[in-house]
Amino acid sequence: MSVWRMASKSLGRRKIRTALTVSGIVVGISMTFIFLSMIAGMDVQITNMVRTLGGADITIYNATSTTRQQLLLGITNTLNETLVSTVSGVGGVYATSPEFSLQAYLNGTRTLIHGIDPITYPLVTGGLNIIEGSSLEGSEEAVLGKAVADSLNITVGRDIILSPDPLGGQSFRVVGIYETGITFQDRGCYINLKEAQNMSEREGLITAILVKCIDPNEVSDVSSSITSLIPNVRAVVPTNIIQQVSNVLNTVRLFFFSIGVVALFAGSFGVVNTMITSISERTREIGTLKAIGAKEGQILKIFLSEALLLGVIGGAVGVSLGIGISLVFPMVLGRLGGLGTPIGGQGGIGSLVARGASLSPAILPSNILLCFSLGIIVGILAGLYPAWHAAKMRPVEALRHV
């Protein structure tokens, strides 16, 4: 009889005990996998969000603090539009584009309005991803995000009313629909910069300056030059945000991974207990095997094979359960209220308040392999001492055992 057949037959004789032992490994593996999948999903989602929200290499905001009264009135700190030409003169800058963002009402529904320059905006950001109609060209035109267009049942060619307050407003013709894939961003509306400034009665002011660099490798240097030249501004670089977010998530990932390892460590005691009990019950069997010439190494292999099978079963079931729970968990949890706080003011690349961004796991092959391997390792390590104890048992003493 082969070692593997003997091991599986032994585990099959005590099905309930085997199931309880495996459950300890399953809990630890599934917990670890769920945590790793959720963190990986957040990492992917936030990275994509930052890249989508800001096609520019650098976004410049007013760095002065906003008072509580201003926040209550919906007023954000702005920049003078003349600074756009100043930034354009900084070495390494390829193109600049002003932007004015404000909270306003679209057909009575509160939404975020972005005022842009139709000529310079595509040069800096690559333009909006238009899926229907066309981009902005003239006055009294608007491009809507797919999410807000669908929710209000607005199509290309329709007229909409935009206003800073629920009453009155100005009529705009919808010329295009854009989509980013991020619900929060797809609930916006883009109009001409001057019209956004007039709507809020803040002519000559902007909320952000979008910057495209000549050499992407010099973004940090250009950013430093801008902040040195212009006081009281904050230059936000998307790649830096991604790096900061990744560092935070790596810390969280390590924390949750440690929790999973602790759970696995607790589950390993079940394997040790099962193996020791099994050896105690099979003492005469061990003595008989040794009496007919079985070597210590062969006895060791038999019991290590049992421990390995426990680890393989626990790892496989744990990973499968982890995948299932990771896919169901977002449906139970629902929508995230937000993934962060605005960086740099209202709108633009710094808005990581992902209203409408769902928590979606990332099922990575590397996490599957890692968790399955952990199950095997725990099984083998937990079975080492019991197997060694069985291999060292004297055949005469074993045969005397009743």
DSSP 270-329: HHHHHHHHHHHHTHHHHHHHHHTT--HHHHHHHHHHHHHHHHHHHHHHHHHHHHHHHHHH
The whole-number average pLDDT for the span 122-134 is: 90
For the cut 80, the answer to whether the pLDDT of residue 75 exceeds it is: no
Of 297 and 28, the one with more pLDDT: 28
pLDDT band at 69 (very low <50, low <70, confident <90, very high): very low
pLDDT band at 379 (very low <50, low <70, confident <90, very high): confident
Answer whether 382's CB lies under 8 Å from 264's CB.
no
pTM, full prediction: 0.56
pLDDT band at 91 (very low <50, low <70, confident <90, very high): very high
For the cut 90, the answer to whether the pLDDT of residue 88 exceeds it is: yes
| 365-373: long-range contacts, CB 8 A cutoff, minimum separation 24 | 367/33, 367/36, 367/37, 367/40, 368/33, 368/319, 368/323, 370/36, 371/29, 371/32, 371/33, 371/36, 371/315, 371/318, 371/319, 371/322, 372/29, 372/315, 372/316, 372/318, 372/319, 373/315
Of 313 and 284, the one with more pLDDT: 313
pLDDT confidence of residue 273: 77
Of 35 and 70, the one with more pLDDT: 35
